[in-house]
């Protein structure tokens, strides 16, 4: 990419940065810094990472910190906005695949995404109900609805002031469990721009006393549910068939194959697990780069994928009968925030959020879902055409060259040679590096 076109892309704040991946790391970093207006101190965070004293204050028994590469995915257009996406991940090909998926979607206008209001679910479990009479206990708890919601709402000063707080409740009966009849109260709580685990758990603990005395039973657990299905996000894209064409395979045929690949993940949990893992390959690195709880997002995604009673794909792909375009969509729970938790305590998370330029948790969720869909598009397209190993092995060859001591400039050339020779091995990479050094 010429200096001039890079300059233009930065000035236009376009995420379409052709050749960005070929730049040496220092230039890539400088380009992102200019694109996102990062200060010298902020830039320095990528070198410094997390200092030990801060780490020591975060968790227990700290002995050090653990670093991951952060890459920036390009080409994303989400709800008409140009976005560069920081991704913290160790797996080769993931950032390249996200960027490539975003490029294909961009040809059809990018991603349209919409997040629900940030409503979390808190659960209060009640056991040992008098006479095991669930209906009677529910009626008595219902009679306290106002007091329960007022108490839950009063636990946070900041969230109600921002328009959040307790929204409602529901009682769910479980007449037959291995521990006898029980019920669970669902507290619906708007956590605004926070992921909200602390707020919801605090509210659940605060209402336990009222629920217990009203029910006449015993309150056991008071904790949020990671199946945050009141806080879903949806992303969709339209990919013109010609954007999918590959090595002599016509775009319409690739689209048909992608639909067939998705269809298997709709009916077969063995394929659905891998298919959804691919989606999460895109999602988790953004969750991590923004200091959010990726275990919670993973738990929510898989529970949601199994909501029909059988585990299935989180995406839908079909061909538009009129235009021949490939239409994709993804829906899943997205309990993440831009304030509190790791977003504040991890310095690099702030940097990730700044690059993304998001103003709300919903906006972040919309980007994250778009990245998941881009990742899935890229994976499916490779899987139904040449297979994923070609691209993967080319990146692996580059890593071997770097590990053997090649400079960033010569790594690409050595990797190409390793691939051409069909010898993607560390020993051969070392020979080529040594030969280059002797020249
Ligand atoms: C590998 O990390 C992810 C894929 O297996 C996803 C998929 O099969 O859809 C390529």
- Determine the distance separating the centroid of ligand 1 and the alpha carbon of 72, expressed in angstroms: 20
Provide the angle, in degrees to the nearest 10, between the axes of the packed helices 269-289 and 294-305: 150
Task: Identify which of 383, 385, 387, 389 to mutate to test ligand 1's pocket (most ligand atoms within 8 A of the CB).
Answer: 383
309 and 244, same domain (yes or no): yes
271 and 373, same domain (yes or no): yes
pLDDT higher than 80, residue 307: yes
194 and 102, same domain (yes or no): no
* Residue 101, in any domain of the structure: yes
Dump pLDDT digits (tens) for 132-183: 999 999 999 999 999 999 999 999 999 999 999 999 999 999 999 999 999 9
pLDDT higher than 60, residue 60: yes
Distances in Å between the Cα of 63 and the Cα atoms of 47, 57, 88, 349, 352 are: 19, 12, 21, 21, 25
- Residue 73 backbone phi and psi in degrees, to 5: -85, 140
Q: Give the model's pLDDT for residue 197.
A: 97
Q: Give the model's pLDDT for residue 439.
A: 63
- Domain ends where: 173, 195, 224? 224
Dump pLDDT digits (tens) for 185-198: 999 999 999 999 99
Stronger pLDDT, 274 or 2, i.e. the higher one? 274
Nearest residue (CA) to ligand 1, atom 10: 379
Query: Which CATH number fits the domain that encloses residue 212?
Result: 3.30.70.420
* Residue 265, in any domain of the structure: yes
Domain that holds residue 141: 119-224
187 and 77, same domain (yes or no): no
- Determine the distance separating the centroid of ligand 1 and the alpha carbon of 308, expressed in angstroms: 23
**Residues marked as catalytic:** 91, 277, 293, 392
* Residue 230, in any domain of the structure: no
Q: Tokens 């009673």, residue? A: 309
Stronger pLDDT, 250 or 403, i.e. the higher one? 250
- Determine the distance separating the centroid of ligand 1 and the alpha carbon of 94, expressed in angstroms: 10
Contact 278 CB / ligand 1 (< 6 Å): yes
Q: What percent of the chain is predicted at pLDDT more than 70? A: 99
**Average pLDDT over every residue of 229-246:** 97
* Residue 245, in any domain of the structure: yes
Distance (Å, whole) CA 297 – CA 337: 11
Cβ atoms of residues 330 and 337 within 8 Å: no
pLDDT grade for 18, boundaries at 50, 70 and 90: confident
Contact 274 CB / ligand 1 (< 6 Å): yes
310 and 201, same domain (yes or no): no
354 and 302, same domain (yes or no): yes
Contact 388 CB / ligand 1 (< 6 Å): yes
- Residue 415 backbone phi and psi in degrees, to 5: -60, -45
246 and 366, same domain (yes or no): yes
Q: Give the model's pLDDT for residue 408.
A: 72
Q: Give the model's pLDDT for residue 151.
A: 98
Q: Give the model's pLDDT for residue 292.
A: 97
- Determine the distance separating the centroid of ligand 1 and the alpha carbon of 98, expressed in angstroms: 12
Q: Give the model's pLDDT for residue 438.
A: 65
Contact 271 CB / ligand 1 (< 6 Å): no
pLDDT grade for 90, boundaries at 50, 70 and 90: very high
146 and 267, same domain (yes or no): no
- Determine the distance separating the centroid of ligand 1 and the alpha carbon of 421, expressed in angstroms: 26
Q: Which residues pair with 170 in a beta bridge?
A: 186
Contact 282 CB / ligand 1 (< 6 Å): no
* Residue 309, in any domain of the structure: yes
**109-131 in b/e burial notation, b at 16+ Cβ within 10 A?**
ebbbbebbebbbbbbbbbbbbee
> Parallel, antiparallel, or unpaired: how do β-strands 218-224 and 315-319 relate?
unpaired
Task: Identify which of 260, 270, 274 to mutate to test ligand 1's pocket (most ligand atoms within 8 A of the CB).
Answer: 274
214 and 196, same domain (yes or no): yes
270 and 359, same domain (yes or no): yes
- Determine the distance separating the centroid of ligand 1 and the alpha carbon of 313, expressed in angstroms: 13
- Determine the distance separating the centroid of ligand 1 and the alpha carbon of 80, expressed in angstroms: 28
197 and 269, same domain (yes or no): no
251 and 355, same domain (yes or no): yes
pTM: 0.93
In ligand 1, the atom with minimum distance to the C-alpha of 261 is: 9
pLDDT grade for 389, boundaries at 50, 70 and 90: confident
pLDDT higher than 90, residue 367: yes
Task: Identify which of 90, 260, 275, 386 to mutate to test ligand 1's pocket (most ligand atoms within 8 A of the CB).
Answer: 275
pLDDT higher than 70, residue 437: no
Number of domains the chain is built from: 3
Query: Which CATH number fits the domain that encloses residue 368?
Result: 3.90.770.10
Q: Give the model's pLDDT for residue 403.
A: 87
pLDDT higher than 60, residue 1: no
Closest C-alpha to 201, from 271, 291, 120, 130: 120
Cβ atoms of residues 284 and 358 within 8 Å: no
Q: Evaluate the CA torsion angle 49, 54, 58, 63 in order and state its sign.
A: positive
Dump pLDDT digits (tens) for 335-360: 999 998 888 889 999 999 999 999 99
Q: Give the model's pLDDT for residue 2.
A: 62
* Residue 229, in any domain of the structure: no
Strand order across the 218-224 sheet: 165-174, 182-190, 119-127, 218-224
In ligand 1, the atom with minimum distance to the C-alpha of 94 is: 2
**Average pLDDT over every residue of 287-306:** 98
Q: What is the mean pLDDT of the chain?
A: 95
Nearest residue (CA) to ligand 1, atom 1: 278
């Amino acid at each position: 990419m010429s200096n001039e076109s890079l300059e233009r892309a930065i000035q236009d704040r376009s995420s379409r940065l052709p050749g960005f991946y070929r730049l040496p790391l220092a230039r890539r970093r400088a380009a992102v810094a200019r694109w996102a207006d990062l200060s010298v101190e902020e830039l320095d965070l990528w070198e410094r990472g997390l200092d030990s004293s801060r780490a020591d204050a975060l968790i227990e028994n700290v002995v050090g910190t653990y670093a991951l590469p952060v890459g920036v995915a390009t080409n994303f257009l989400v709800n008409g906005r140009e976005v560069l996406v920081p991704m913290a991940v160790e797996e080769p090909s993931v950032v390249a695949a996200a960027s490539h998926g975003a490029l294909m979607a961009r040809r059809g206008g990018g991603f349209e995404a919409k997040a629900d209001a940030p409503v979390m679910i808190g659960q209060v479990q009640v056991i040992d109900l008098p006479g095991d009479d669930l209906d009677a206990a529910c009626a008595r708890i219902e009679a306290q609805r106002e007091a329960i919601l007022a108490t839950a709402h009063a636990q946070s000063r900041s969230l109600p002031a921002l328009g959040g707080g307790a929204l409602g409740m529901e009682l769910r009966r479980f007449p037959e469990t291995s521990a006898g009849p029980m019920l669970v109260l669902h507290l619906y709580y708007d956590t605004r721009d926070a992921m909200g685990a602390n707020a919801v758990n605090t509210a659940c603990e605060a209402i336990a006393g009222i629920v217990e005395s009203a029910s006449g039973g015993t309150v056991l657990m008071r904790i949020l549910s990671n199946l945050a299905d009141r806080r879903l996000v949806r992303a969709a894209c339209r990919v013109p068939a010609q954007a999918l064409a590959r090595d002599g395979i016509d775009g319409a045929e690739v689209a048909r194959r992608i639909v067939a690949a998705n269809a298997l993940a709709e009916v077969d949990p063995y394929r659905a697990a891998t298919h959804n893992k691919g989606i999460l390959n895109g999602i988790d690195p953004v969750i991590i780069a923004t200091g959010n709880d990726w275990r919670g997002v993973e738990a929510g995604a898989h529970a949601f994928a199994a909501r029909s009673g059988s585990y299935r794909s989180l995406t839908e792909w079909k061909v538009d009968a009129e235009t021949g375009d490939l239409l994709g969509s993804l829906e899943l729970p997205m309990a993440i925030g831009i304030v509190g938790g790791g977003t504040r305590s991890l310095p690099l998370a702030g940097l990730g959020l700044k690059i993304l330029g998001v103003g709300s948790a919903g906006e972040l969720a919309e980007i994250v879902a778009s990245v998941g869909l881009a990742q899935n598009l890229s994976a499916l397209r490779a899987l139904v055409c040449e297979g994923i190993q070609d691209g993967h092995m080319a990146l692996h060859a580059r890593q071997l060259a770097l590990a053997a001591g090649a400079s960033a400039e010569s790594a690409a050339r050595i990797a190409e040679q390793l691939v051409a020779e069909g010898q993607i091995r560390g020993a051969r990479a070392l020979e080529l590096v040594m030969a280059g050094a002797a020249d």
